Amino acid sequence: MSQYIDMPRLGLGTWRLEGQQASDTVAQAIQLGYRHIDTATRYENEAAVGIGLQQSGVARKELFVTTKIWYDQLAPEAMRRSAAASLEKLQLDMVDLLLIHWPNPDPAWNMAASLETLAEIKQQGWAKHIGVANFPVALLQQAWGIIGEELKVNQVEYHFALQQQALLEFTQSHNMLLTAYSPLARGDFNDNPVLQAIATKHGANVGQIALAWLLRQDGVAAIPKASSVAHLQSNLQAAAIALDGDDLAQLQAIPKDQRLINPDFAPQWDA
């Protein structure tokens, strides 16, 4: 019996949304029915996202808001400062989920101290849940050894063209959600013939097929970024598409070796 946290499985990603556009898109998305918004200190849009949350007119308790702490702010005092600044910008008393955005690549990084501080930040009421992002299996295992079931989410790149089976097995068996970022492969999917054929069969578009494939998986959430009403609406409807066994076999057969987000500070992914 799984005990995942109560997080809406489809959220809005906000990377690259800034200023007025970020506020308007967040407000619009919530009015359309989104209840989960993903931001980060690094996106430099928390204040704009906060305005959008207010402008939506939807009660705070209905919304699930995630933010993240950047990897160079993982010393305990810096983490507390980062979390406090996020709350102020977002105009919130508490976020629903606070993540370590990336493991710190510095070999001297004290991961235990960072994770324990994250748990303390939760304890003091600034975050309802905590988790990590961009943690490969080996690091996630280590993190589990430090704060265990406090960890509720690992947010990683995951889409039809990137394999994440080992991570998914880990998160599923530890009651953690795997949040798929770049779930639309950053919008680079229009010429994929497999997605196109399945989309035609269901009277859907390729983005909806990409999202439907993720959302049908146990313990998986997805946070597509979109900035037009048409895209926002289309993505919201993806969960209703019922893929059949034949669709799933074809989607599974797409080569899964396309990692799109791989900065020089990234961890060793296959560790």
Residue 247 contacts residue 216 (beta carbons within 8 Å): no
Sheet containing 220-222: order of strands: 12-13, 36-38, 64-69, 95-100, 127-133, 151-157, 177-181, 220-222
Taking CB under 6 A as the criterion, the residue among 69, 83, 140, 184 binding ligand NAP is 184
Query: By beta-carbon distance, which residue lies closest to ligand NAP?
Result: 13
| 234 forms part of the interface with ligand NAP (CB under 6 A) | yes
Rounded to the nearest angstrom, the gap between the alpha carbon of residue 170 and the centroid of all alpha carbons in its chain is 17
Q: Could you give the string, one character per residue 81-120, with x where binding to ligand NAP holds by CB under 6 A and - elsewhere?
A: --------------------x-------------------
Q: Is residue 144 near ligand NAP by the rule CB under 6 A?
A: no
Of 146, 141, 163, the residue nearest 154 (C-alpha): 141
Contact 134, 158 (CB under 8 A): no
Closest to ligand NAP by CB, 239 vs 249, is 239
- Judged by CB under 6 A, the number of residues near ligand NAP is 26
The answer to whether the CB of 195 falls within 8 A of the CB of 184 is no
Question: Stretches 12-20, 78-86, 117-125, 135-143: which one binds ligand NAP (CB under 6 A)?
Answer: 12-20
Among 10, 13, 52, 154, binds ligand NAP (CB under 6 A): 13
Chain CA centroid to CA 180, Å: 5
Minimum Å gap between C-beta 233 and ligand NAP is: 8
Judged by CB under 6 A, the residue of 104, 135, 225, 236 near ligand NAP is: 225
Phi-psi domain of 249 (left: phi exceeds 0; alpha: psi -120 through 50; beta: other): alpha
Spatial distance between the Cα atoms of 158 and 181, rounded to a whole number of angstroms:
6
CA distance 195 to 201: 10
The strand pair at 12-13 and 36-38 is best described as parallel
Can residue 219 be called a binding residue for ligand NAP (CB under 6 A)?
no
The answer to whether 87 and 95 have CB atoms below 8 angstroms apart is: yes
Contact 168, 217 (CB under 8 A): yes
Closer CB to ligand NAP, 4 or 160, in the complex: 160
Catalytic residue among 4, 34, 43, 181: 43
Residue 267 touches ligand NAP, criterion: CB under 6 A: no
Name the 3-class secondary structure at 253.
Answer: helix
CB of 29 to ligand NAP, least distance (A): 11
Q: Does 21 bind ligand NAP (CB under 6 A)?
A: no
Contact segment (CB under 6 A) with ligand NAP among 55-63, 78-86, 184-192, 247-255 equals 184-192
Residues that bind ligand NAP (CB under 6 A): 13-15, 38, 101, 133-134, 155, 181-187, 207, 223-228, 231, 234-235, 261
Indicate which residues carry an active-site annotation.
43
